[in-house]
Amino acid sequence: MKKILLLYLIFSLFNLPAIAYYEKDYQTAWCIANEGKTEVILPDKTRVDCVTRTHAIEFDFAKKWGESIGQSLYYASILEKTPGIVLIIENPEKDLKYLKRLETVANKYNIKIWTITPDFLVKN
Residue 118, domain extent: 20-123
> Would you state the pLDDT for residue 124?
62
Question: Using alpha carbons only, what angle is made at residue 62 by residues 22 and 44, rounded to the nearest 5 degrees?
Answer: 70
Cα–Cα distance between 13 and 17 in angstroms, integer? Answer: 11
**Does residue 66 belong to any structural domain of this protein?**
yes
> Would you state the pLDDT for residue 123?
76
Structural domains of the chain, count: 1
**Does residue 5 belong to any structural domain of this protein?**
no
**Does residue 15 belong to any structural domain of this protein?**
no
Q: Please tell me the pTM assigned to this model.
A: 0.83
- The 8 Å CB, 24+ separation contacts for 35-43 are 40/79, 42/75, 42/78, 42/79, 43/78
What are 15-31's pLDDT values in tens digits? 545 568 999 999 999 99
What are 53-80's pLDDT values in tens digits? 999 999 999 999 999 999 999 999 999 9
**Does residue 2 belong to any structural domain of this protein?**
no
**Does residue 119 belong to any structural domain of this protein?**
yes
**Average pLDDT of every residue of the chain:** 88
Q: Domain containing 76 — which CATH number?
A: 3.40.1350
Rounded mean pLDDT, 78-86? 98
**Does residue 14 belong to any structural domain of this protein?**
no
